[in-house]
Amino acid sequence: MNLVQQQLSSFESEQSVQRLVVYFANTKGGQSPTLEAIGHWPIPGNSLPPLETDQELRAPSPDRRWYPLQEGTMLLGVLRAERLKNLNGWPESLDQRLQSTASALTHCLSLELEKKKLLEELNHQQEQIGLMVHQLRNPLTALRTYAELLLRRIGSENQNRTLVEGLLSEQDQLNRYVNALDGLSQKTLPYKEAHQDHLLLPPLLPDVSDINVRSLLTPLIDRAATTSRFQGRDWKGPSDWPTWTEEPRPSREGVIAEIVANLLENAFRYSPQSASIGLHLMNDGICIWDSGIPIKQEEVQRIFQRGYRGKNSQENQGSGLGLALGREFAEQLGGTLDLISSPRSLNESLPLVGNAFVLSIPIEPRQV
């Protein structure tokens, strides 16, 4: 509306123009659309009637022209221009200017309609997310109940106890995801500037001010060890924990767990069944390695591009976003994420050939 009035007021210097009116098409309650006046120059003392009911406009006049606000085959509105009487012809420059004004208003209205459509779709999606979250809570609660009952029935020395405890741990993690989704569906997210950090996933950690890398990695290592036993492959976890993994870090660095979890999932998904997998801790970072087929040199950088999937992963489902996001968030933490085709170059205990994804992390947490 501000743009309409601004555009119309810009014609004050045109002495030959007597009146300008902008009409927008409006449909209410499934009725036939009407063309309602929403902008005038000069501003009248009272509102103008809809175009269809203005009897004066039904008669043609050489002093009046209409400029449609048309997007493709859809008429969005119209610009009505009237000049002073007893003037000879319409100046070409004025006609071109009015056409340009109509084009600008058409583009603006088209964007407004598209915005409205997108907001309606977003609201619908939020409602659907809310319904799905509500439906997810029931089976998750049931799974936890069954796991707790099973834990009571087996003794403390039972070799399967760690498996059940792992189920409860994963259920807690799922609950955090569900709670995060629930928050997305119930409130409007605050606007953030483009330069601000964004997490790979919503914060899924308990409400604590500080964390440490060891607490982040321990459940991931336990999960990887269990997956390896199930697949019948070798798994090698860290033999020692450097001091920096025990030191407090801000909770926003919980995204480290998401990056590592994605790298481990990729290793299990894309490396051959016979390949061993492991997690190695260095003085300044974390290495997730496998002894599988090395990623080709020409793909080493391309696999970090959004949407790109390496030739070795074509047979498996995936979005091609994990590594790209992992590198982006590593850089936001002040670190890096790189691929090395010879794990042994990092440590002599690692395989000579394979793939090693190295997440380098600043020992001192980055201040923001």
Predicted confidence at residue 164, as pLDDT, reads 85
Predicted confidence at residue 364, as pLDDT, reads 73
Predicted confidence at residue 187, as pLDDT, reads 57
CA angle 154, 163, 290 (to 5 degrees): 160
Query: Does position 354 have pLDDT exceeding 80, yes or no?
Result: yes
**Cis amide bond preceding 42, omega within 30:** yes
90, amino acid identity: W
Host domain of residue 342: 212-360
> How does DSSP classify residue 15?
T
301, amino acid identity: Q
> Of the candidates 118, 145, 180, which is a domain's last residue?
118
Predicted confidence at residue 366, as pLDDT, reads 56
- What average pLDDT does this structure show over 190-201? 45
Predicted confidence at residue 340, as pLDDT, reads 92
Q: Average pLDDT of the chain?
A: 83
Query: Does position 237 have pLDDT exceeding 60, yes or no?
Result: yes
Q: Are 350 and 223 contained in the same domain? A: yes
pLDDT in tens, 298-352: 888 888 888 776 665 555 555 567 888 889 989 988 999 999 989 999 999 999 9
Q: What is the DSSP string of 95-108?
A: HHHHHHHHHHHHHH
Query: Does position 264 have pLDDT exceeding 80, yes or no?
Result: yes
CATH code of residue 233: 3.30.565.10
Residues 37 and 22: beta-carbon distance below 8 Å: yes
The whole-model pTM stands at 0.58
If one compares 188 and 217, the residue with the highest pLDDT of the two is: 217
- What average pLDDT does this structure show over 44-67? 77
Q: Evaluate whether residue 283 is within a structural domain.
A: yes
Q: What is the DSSP string of 170-202?
A: HHHHHHHHHHHHHHHHHSPPPP--TTS---SS-
pLDDT above 70: percentage of residues in the chain:
86
Q: Evaluate whether residue 331 is within a structural domain.
A: yes
pLDDT above 90: percentage of residues in the chain:
30
pLDDT in tens, 240-259: 999 999 999 888 888 898 89
Q: Are 219 and 111 contained in the same domain? A: no
Predicted confidence at residue 134, as pLDDT, reads 74
Q: Evaluate whether residue 131 is within a structural domain.
A: no
pLDDT in tens, 166-185: 888 888 878 877 877 777 66
Residues 37 and 54: beta-carbon distance below 8 Å: no
Rounded Cα–Cα distance for residues 324 and 138 (Å): 34
Predicted confidence at residue 145, as pLDDT, reads 85
Rounded Cα–Cα distance for residues 176 and 137 (Å): 11
Residues near 53 by Cβ (< 8 Å), separated by ≥ 6?
A: none
Q: Are 356 and 246 contained in the same domain? A: yes
Q: Evaluate whether residue 319 is within a structural domain.
A: yes
Predicted confidence at residue 358, as pLDDT, reads 96
Q: Evaluate whether residue 168 is within a structural domain.
A: no
Q: Are 342 and 224 contained in the same domain? A: yes
Q: Evaluate whether residue 171 is within a structural domain.
A: no
> Of the candidates 99, 118, 137, which is a domain's last residue?
118
Q: Are 87 and 221 contained in the same domain? A: no
Query: Does position 204 have pLDDT exceeding 50, yes or no?
Result: no
Residue 331 has which token pair?
């850089």
If one compares 90 and 236, the residue with the highest pLDDT of the two is: 236
pLDDT in tens, 131-161: 788 778 778 888 888 888 888 888 778 888 8
Predicted confidence at residue 316, as pLDDT, reads 53
Q: Evaluate whether residue 240 is within a structural domain.
A: yes
> Of the candidates 98, 118, 138, which is a domain's last residue?
118
Predicted confidence at residue 198, as pLDDT, reads 44
Q: How confident is the model at residue 46 (pLDDT cuts 50, 70, 90)?
A: low
Q: Are 113 and 217 contained in the same domain? A: no
User: Is residue 166 packed enough to be buried (19+ CB in 10 Å), middle (13-18) or exposed (0-12)?
Assistant: middle
Predicted confidence at residue 203, as pLDDT, reads 43
Q: Are 217 and 355 contained in the same domain? A: yes
If one compares 280 and 284, the residue with the highest pLDDT of the two is: 280
Classified as helix, coil or strand, 122 is helix
Predicted confidence at residue 44, as pLDDT, reads 67
Q: Evaluate whether residue 58 is within a structural domain.
A: yes
Query: Does position 192 have pLDDT exceeding 60, yes or no?
Result: no
CATH code of residue 11: 3.30.450.40
The total of structural domains in the chain comes to 2
